[in-house]
Structure 1
Amino acid sequence: MKNILFVLTSNDEMGSTGHKTGFWVEEFAAPYYALTDNGFNVTLASPKGGQPPIDPNSDTEDAATEATKRFDKDEATKKKLANTLKLETIDQKDFDAVFYPGGHGLLWDLVENKTSNDLIESFHSHKKPVAFVCHAPAILKNIKGSDGKPLVNGKNVTGFTNGEEEAVQLTDVVPFLIEDMLQEKGGNYSKLGDWQPYALEDGLLITGQNPASSEKVADLLIKKLQ
């Protein structure tokens, strides 16, 4: 059985706005069920361990999908989520791939988290897939490849678009815009229309544009591991 590591944010504050954030439920639930239904074992971790914060905006009826409805009734997975492992206890040798669900929360804790960054670089250098969806490609900001250049340099990547950030009225709140950052780091950034499902694979790197892209990212990861 292949083992997949999911890393979730521990941050529930949207900068200094006083608004709550966290991880986006759909971006956790859809890939989690896609992987576990295909026989993969998923381990959950976060910087602080324990229960990672759910973005309240992702836990509404408007944001509900088949995967989130399944999660709502899944007490076993909720219990597992309440007991995420501390990121510092994780060793990449125990896993076959790593996946980062999105949500705004990670912009303030995982992007600059050295443990997380070292882990991603270790996965990649050991020829294991690294996957990110929606806001999670922001974490690639400080990740370097074995050549010392940004990991995204020259690679086909996507992530939450400037237009999508504008649509949720957080352009002036986020520390940086993901689309701009990926291009600045030399990534070959592309996107579809706002909120359209879109995911890319380039070697070991898999990225998805937005919440609707979660299943596509999971599908690419599954194919990569089979």
Structure 2
Amino acid sequence: MKKVLIPVTNHATLGETNHANGTYAPELTHVLNELILAGIDYDIASIKGGKAPLYGTDIEGDDVNNKILADESFQNRINNTVPAHQVIINHYDAVFYPGGFGLLTDLATNQDFAQLSAQHYESGGLIAAVCHGPAALLPITLSDGESLLSKVSVTGFTREEEIDFGTIDDIPFLLEEALARKAARYNKVQPWGSFTIEDNNVITGQNPASAHAIGQALVSKLTSTQN
């Protein structure tokens, strides 16, 4: 059975504010729904381990989000995330970073998952990320000393979307600028439309609306390859 590692943030607020935050649930649950339907297993991990903070858990009318959040297996995994030091990366076929503002404070600079992801990528593994999730690609350095981002085209949450969402003044840094400076190419479309890029085993999505497509792309890649 194929298996995906999902690193999530331990940071429970928006930057240094007291606004509750963490991982944005729909970006996790919509991808998980595609994985589960395809018979692909997953583990949820975090830097520290233990219970991981979620927000966006009370969105009316999001049946997929509500279904996954109500699943006992999911609740067990999100409340008991695997600490980074216990992750055995060669047990996984892909790494997926869901978004949410929390990871801008921890995963965006964390070396534990950066090194695991570099090892995974150089072994031919897939890396996917959506919305703010591509921030976790920033610290990934490959064995040739070059950053992973310098070799691929990516997308991620845009400046316009930060302004629309009212978070531009509270985020630790602007993801679009960070990606544009480091990536081989940064791409975006008009705010809030679904947009994904697949480049050299790296799959990125611009915003929450892209989560479903990220899940589909992951499933397509994983089910078209054999160990």
Instruction: Give the TM-score of the pair, scaled to structure 2.
Output: 0.93
2:138 aligned counterpart, secondary structure: helix
One-letter identity of the residue aligned with 2:18: G
Deviates more, 1:11-20 or 1:88-97: 11-20
Say whether residues 1:92 and 2:89 are aligned partners. yes
2:114 is aligned, of 100, 112, 117, to 117
Deviates more, 1:178-187 or 1:114-123: 178-187
2:126 corresponding residue in structure 1: 129
Map 1:121-200 onto structure 2 (within 5 A): 121-200=118-197
Distance 1:23 1:132 in 2: 12
Please tell me whether the aligned partners of residues 118 and 142 of structure 2 are also in contact (alpha carbons under 8 angstroms): yes
Deviates more, 1:42-51 or 1:72-81: 72-81
2:100 is aligned, of 96, 99, 103, to 103
Cα distance, 1:154 vs. partner? 4.6
1:74 corresponding residue in structure 2: 71
1:110 aligned counterpart, secondary structure: coil
1:12 corresponding residue in structure 2: 12
2:150 aligned counterpart, secondary structure: coil
Distance 1:186 1:5 in 2: 23
Distance 2:38 2:121 in 1: 23
2:214 aligned counterpart, secondary structure: helix
Unaligned runs of 5+ in 2: none
Deviates more, 1:138-147 or 1:9-18: 138-147
2:50 corresponding residue in structure 1: 50
1:76 aligned counterpart, secondary structure: helix
The total of aligned residue pairs comes to 223
One-letter identity of the residue aligned with 2:47: P
Identity of aligned residues (%): 35
Cα distance, 1:75 vs. partner? 2.6
Instruction: Give the TM-score of the pair, scaled to structure 1.
Output: 0.93
Distance 1:72 1:45 in 2: 17
Map 1:215-226 onto structure 2 (within 5 A): 215-226=212-223
1:153 aligned counterpart, secondary structure: helix
Unaligned runs of 5+ in 1: none
Deviates more, 1:72-81 or 1:200-209: 72-81
Distance 2:5 2:69 in 1: 22
1:208 corresponding residue in structure 2: 205
One-letter identity of the residue aligned with 1:223: S
